[in-house]
Structure 1
Amino acid sequence: MDKHSSQSSLVASLQDVRRDSGKTYSQIAAETGLTNVYVAQLLKRQAQLKPETVPKLREALPCLVDHQIQEMMRPPMRSYDPNLIQEPTIYRLNEAVMHFGESIKEIINEEFGDGIMSAIDFYCSVDKVKGVDGKDRVVVTLDGKYLPYTEQKSEHMMSRQHPGGN
């Protein structure tokens, strides 16, 4: 079995464990102390399961087997299927970022300076709230560390440092 089909098989088995448990991502998140999106990332092998989280995840999903846990603890190959853009929810999320992105960037620069939001030191959650009209609303929270761009001074570039000093 090649790596891609092995990965797909593992993800399918992890999704089966969650479905068979009858629990939602949010329920598992509440039991493990993780965000609901991070739980989904773990079960799609887009995030790495940390050793300190294993007991909580095993308690939340007791049907996980050792092989699945061991695979989840390995660094994942983070990727996405370019065909996902065809899925309407993903398309709309991309559309929202594209539509509001320039304004968000300007506000980040205004509030923080010249920099970006990290997608590595990052938290994400999806929540359900009632709007003022009483209808359900989706709240997607993107919570990333601010990373300033640095001025690239050659004296700070370690690869240009000579042994024993300058």
Structure 2
Amino acid sequence: MEENKKTIINRLAAVKSKSGKSCSQIAEQTGLTNVYVAQLLRRQAQLKPDTAPKLRAALPELPEDLLQEMMRPPMRSYDPNLIQDPCVYRLNEAVMHFGESIKGNYQ
């Protein structure tokens, strides 16, 4: 598949939209978490071969080429503007403030 990440993500979003299902509904049908489903549909995670049939059942309109693309290593990236989103900013702030304690370096 020679498509770029944005095109692939748009195609995956169209399949999800056409299904009328939320990530939570797809997660329930596949036994995955809703966040993992969102990661799969944004190509931030790799679809495992044993999960592919479950995803195909939940999204029957998912074409074979996209299903195969989802099983390739993820196309992770970072949008530097994402930190401006209030939810992401607060999550990052929490990690910065409490990271050492969460990590367990406190003795």
TM-score normalised over the length of structure 1: 0.58
CA displacement 1:75-121 (0-9 Å, x = unmatched): 1232211111112211111112112222212xx246xx9xxxxxxxx
Q: 1:90 aligns with which of 75, 81, 88?
A: 88
Residue ranges of structure 1 left out of the alignment (5+ in a row): 114-166
Q: Which amino acid aligns with 1:31?
A: Q
SS in structure 2 opposite 1:80?
Answer: coil
CA distance in 1, matches of 2:24, 2:93: 25
Q: Which amino acid aligns with 1:64?
A: L
CA distance in 2, matches of 1:98, 1:16: 36
Task: Give 1 or 2: higher helix fraction.
Answer: 2
User: Which consecutive aligned stretches of 4+ in structure 1 deviate over 3 angstroms post-superposition?
Assistant: none
The structural deviation recorded for 1:36 is 1.2
Moved more, 7-16 or 93-102: 93-102
Structure 2 residue aligned with 1:68: 66
- Aligned-CA RMSD value: 1.8
Structure 2 residue aligned with 1:8: 6
Q: Which structure has the larger Rg?
A: 1
Q: In the comparison of the two structures, how many residue pairs are matched? A: 106
Moved more, 60-69 or 17-26: 17-26
**Is 2:89 aligned against 1:56?**
no
The structural deviation recorded for 1:16 is 1.7
Higher relative contact order at CA 8 Å, sep ≥6: structure 1 or structure 2? Answer: 2
The structural deviation recorded for 1:27 is 1.2
Structure 2 residue aligned with 1:33: 31
Structure 2 residue aligned with 1:117: none
CA distance in 2, matches of 1:79, 1:59: 28
**Superposition map of 1:14-163 within 5 A:** 14-105=12-103, 108-109=104-105
TM-score normalised over the length of structure 2: 0.88
CA distance in 2, matches of 1:77, 1:59: 24
